[in-house]
Amino acid sequence: MKEKYDVPIASESEFVEYMLSQMAAFGLPCTLQQAKDFYVYYARMIETNKYLNLTGITDMKEVVVKHMIDSLSCYDPTIINSGSSIIDVGTGAGFPGIPLAIYDRTLLVTLFDSLKKRLTFLESVIDELQLTNCKTLHGRAEDLSHQDYRESFDIATSRAVARLPILLEWTVPYVKQGGYVIALKGAIYEEEVGESDKAFSTLKASIEDVRTVTLPTLDDKRAIVYIKKTGKTPKQYPRKPKEIKDKPL
């Protein structure tokens, strides 16, 4: 009997053809080599998913659209400049950090997660693809932002981690003044933005832009929230995990 996530892996040619077609449909240029690199990432993720829960999305076409292209939907070279340092907070299986690192190898991406097993998987992908612009970091968001990593990144990204008021407290402290938090959000993004006023004012950040996203083959509602850091975050933030959860800003 097969395990729940013991699924067949598509061929490289099938994946590459679909990746290139869907990237074109979305309006993002993609080279053959980039598509092949994305295939390696996909194949290793599906292999590892048999024994380590990385994703519930395993169909090749869904992985391309719901993971790869969804991650790249936040890529805007006017905000994510060449050479930008990025911390991907709560990276999980590597989204959006690994796709960004594959797509633009000038970016300096740090994949941050609290689960070491996931980071071990990501390190194997980094090694195989020779992503010298990418590294991992193990810890909790509310701990390391009080240390050397505080206000040291141009950009913090996060996808499907927490509601916006909580996410802001986890991410804004890592970002330099003038930098950005980029939050990839789902259908209730307007509600989350509406409940984040106190978090914005307290943490010294403000919304720069909210862009709705329509992915190829899907009709669900998504958005990218671009948040600019406008000042120095007070040193008491982020607070302890229980306080963040029980009394969000």
Q: At 102, which CATH number?
A: 3.40.50.150
Residue 4 lies in a domain: no
Does 7 map to a domain?
Answer: no
Residue 147 has pLDDT above 90, yes or no: no
The residue range of the domain holding 139 is 12-246
Domain membership flag for residue 179: yes
106 Ramachandran zone, left/alpha/beta (phi>0; psi -120 to 50): alpha
Give the integer Cα–Cα distance in Å for 109 and 26.
Answer: 23
Residue-wise pLDDT tens digits, 96-116? 999 999 999 999 999 999 999
Residue 42: pLDDT above 90? yes
Residue 5 falls within a domain, yes or no? no
- Amino acid 4: pLDDT: 60
Query: Strand 175-185 vs strand 222-229: parallel, antiparallel, or unpaired?
Result: antiparallel
| Within-domain flag for 6 | no
Judge whether residue 29 has pLDDT over 70.
yes
Q: Each residue of 56-69: pLDDT tens digit?
A: 999 999 999 999 99
- Residue-level pLDDT at 239: 92
pLDDT digits (tens, 9 = 90+) for 157-172: 999 788 999 999 999 9
Q: How many domains does the chain have?
A: 1
- Cα–Cα distance measured from residue 56 to residue 146, given in angstroms and rounded to the nearest whole number: 33
Under the phi-then-psi rule, with left for phi > 0, alpha for psi from -120 to 50, and beta for the rest, what region is 226? beta
Q: Average pLDDT in the 70-74 region?
A: 97
Q: Of 76, 65, 73, which is closest to residue 42 (Cα–Cα)?
A: 65
For residue 92, is it within any domain? Answer: yes
- Which residues are CB-neighbours of 24 under 8 A, at least 6 positions away? 30
Is the distance from CB of 80 to CB of 104 less than 8 angstroms?
A: yes
DSSP 3-state of 181? strand
pLDDT at 1 (0 to 100)? 33
- Mind listing the pLDDT tens digit for each residue in 181-220? 999 998 889 999 999 999 999 999 999 999 999 999 998 8
pLDDT at 5 over 80: no
Burial classification of residue 163, based on how many CB atoms lie within 10 Å of its CB (0-12 exposed, 13-18 middle, 19 or more buried) = middle
Amino acid at 180: Y
pLDDT score recorded for residue 3: 57
Q: What is the pLDDT of residue 161?
A: 84
Q: Could you give the CA distance from residue 112 to residue 110 in angstroms, rounded to a whole number? A: 6
Beta-carbon neighbour count of residue 137 at 10 Å? 15
Percent of the chain with pLDDT over 70: 98
State the Cα–Cα distance between residues 38 and 42, nearest whole angstrom: 6
- Cβ atoms of residues 109 and 133 within 8 Å: yes
Structural domain contains residue 159:
yes
For residue 171, tell me if it sits in a domain: yes
Q: What is the pTM of this model?
A: 0.94
Strands (E), 75-232: 85-89, 108-113, 134-138, 153-159, 175-185, 205-213, 222-229
